[in-house]
Amino acid sequence: MKYGVVAIAALLLAVGCAPLPSSKQGDTSSADAGNRGAPVGQGKSRYQIEQDGAPLQTLDPNMIADAQPRHEVLRVAGNISPYKVNGKEYRLVDQHRGFKERGIASWYGTKFHGHATSNGEIYSLYEMTAAHRTLPIPVYVKVTNLDNGRTAIVRVNDRGPFHSDRIIDLSYAAAVKLGYAKRGTARVEIEVIDTDNTHAASREAARYYLQVAAFSQLTSANALQQKLSEGLAFPVVIASSSDRGAAMHRVRVGPFVDYYSAQAAKKVLQQQWSGESHLVVEAGDSSS
């Protein structure tokens, strides 16, 4: 997570990613353990401090740089759809290009500093990041504070806030830049920044597949491939591999050029195939 950090490098080195002492903020932030990560152990949370809040250090909003939008591969991490939190089901938006939304923004800080976000990155309250319930991860969002006109660009890498009256949770640094950290919430408009125009220059061009099944017997994989091919206009392929001498043959639909092409194909696949499928992303030498 190296995008849009606060320009106070010496302070960051001193603070690091350890949970920070917090000043008494009252109910300025919306986040709590139920919103970001189930409790672990018997009655214990994975967060070291109970209440969320701001760091003791004062940040200068004029020294906080926006996140720098760039094309990034939408991997599986953080992009499971649908998913459930507190018994409620959420589905990622079908199309994030041109996405706009107005509502209430909150922020989260010391309680979550140093802990993993929904895609496995480590949250820092000093970086320009955000949590959203249904946007893919990661995307870049322009946030405008409708009360004072200030703007900020953040990178969405987390899920939340799971309060029905709030649409986005920003890092503490982003809240400072937008001028509502002390107030706790603000009326905002958020707008996704389309980074697809940099796709051609990206070294992370990816192939997206919908994996429908995996078999140890190639004949079974061939039979399913043939069945799906008869009813689908998309390619159906078999990806075979061997692990410690055991063969595995995975039946996949695709490849697709981007995340949303795969999501659109999934809806068509559901009309032909009663089983579950999951997204597989291959970028360079890696897959997820």
Q: Which CATH number belongs to the domain containing residue 34 in this structure?
A: 2.40.40.10
Average pLDDT over residues 18-31: 38
Q: Last residue of a domain, which of 169, 198, 227?
A: 198
Q: Tell whether 191 and 64 lie within a shared domain.
A: yes
Q: Tell whether 234 and 255 lie within a shared domain.
A: yes
Q: Last residue of a domain, which of 182, 198, 214?
A: 198
Q: Tell whether 240 and 148 lie within a shared domain.
A: no
Enter the tokens of residue 193. 């920044």
Q: Tell whether 141 and 27 lie within a shared domain.
A: yes
Residue 138 clears pLDDT 90, i.e. is over it? yes
Q: Last residue of a domain, which of 166, 198, 230?
A: 198
pLDDT in tens, 145-155: 999 999 999 99
Q: Tell whether 136 and 229 lie within a shared domain.
A: no
Examine residue 15 and state whether it is found in any structural domain, yes or no: no
Phi, psi torsion values for 235, nearest 5 degrees: -65, 145
The span from the CA of 169 to the CA of 107, in Å, is 5
Q: Tell whether 188 and 217 lie within a shared domain.
A: no
Range of the domain at 239: 205-287
pLDDT in tens, 92-134: 988 888 899 999 999 998 889 999 999 999 999 999 999 999 9
Could you tell me if 236 and 255 are in contact, meaning their C-beta atoms sit under 8 angstroms apart? Answer: no
Examine residue 8 and state whether it is found in any structural domain, yes or no: no
Residue 35 clears pLDDT 90, i.e. is over it? no
Enter the tokens of residue 115. 């802990």
pLDDT in the model for residue 231: 86
Number of domains making up the chain: 2
